[in-house]
Amino acid sequence: MILNDVQTGIQTRKARKRIGRGTGSGHGKTSGRGHKGYFSRSGSSRRQGFQGGQMPLFRRVAKRGFNNRQFSPEVVVINVGTLGEKFEAGAEICPKVLAERGLIPSRFDELKVLGNGELKIALKIKAHRFSGTAETQITAAGGSFEIIGVE
């Protein structure tokens, strides 16, 4: 093996298929569309959900009732154990601080603090919702919690 020849012939980008450039190109005449039929014509395309003439799945499945999920608020959760690990004692925690540190996504409607994990330090936490166990853990550690309104 010659080390100089190892990289020869390797291309980082494959050349695109140039169709409709004559018979010598290998993709001339019908240009890979075959003979006649719907897909040989211009403007042909399969619509989304097309199943070859079979009754599509979204028409076969019964659609009943109304779902309000699209209108419900997007609630982001964080555990008190995580807050205890990521912040020092006496820190004031609000949704903006959590988003800046990357602990929660920047886009949401409400923040809820859950009671998973252990909280051993006193923290001042502001959120839209708190679970019962989170409230007891925060107060037991000597911290405080404040329920804020939806902005």
- Alpha carbon distances (Å) from 41 to 14, 17, 49, 91: 27, 19, 21, 67
Q: Are 78 and 104 in contact (CB under 8 A)?
A: yes
Q: Average pLDDT for residues 61-82, to the nearest whole number?
A: 92
- H/E element, 86: helix 80-86
Whether this prediction's pTM lies above 0.75 is answered by: no
Structure confidence at residue 91 as a pLDDT band (50, 70, 90): very high
Q: How confident is the model at residue 151 (pLDDT cuts 50, 70, 90)?
A: low
Q: What are 113-128's pLDDT values in tens digits? A: 999 999 999 999 999 9
User: What pLDDT, on a 0 to 100 scale, did the predictor assign at position 6?
Assistant: 82
- Among 113, 122, 115, residue whose Cα is nearest residue 141: 122
Tell me the pLDDT band of 134, cut-offs 50, 70 and 90. Answer: very high
Assign domain 72-147 to its CATH architecture. Answer: Ribosomal Protein L15; Chain: K; domain 2 (3.100)
Q: How many CA atoms lie within 13 A of 138 on its CB side?
A: 26
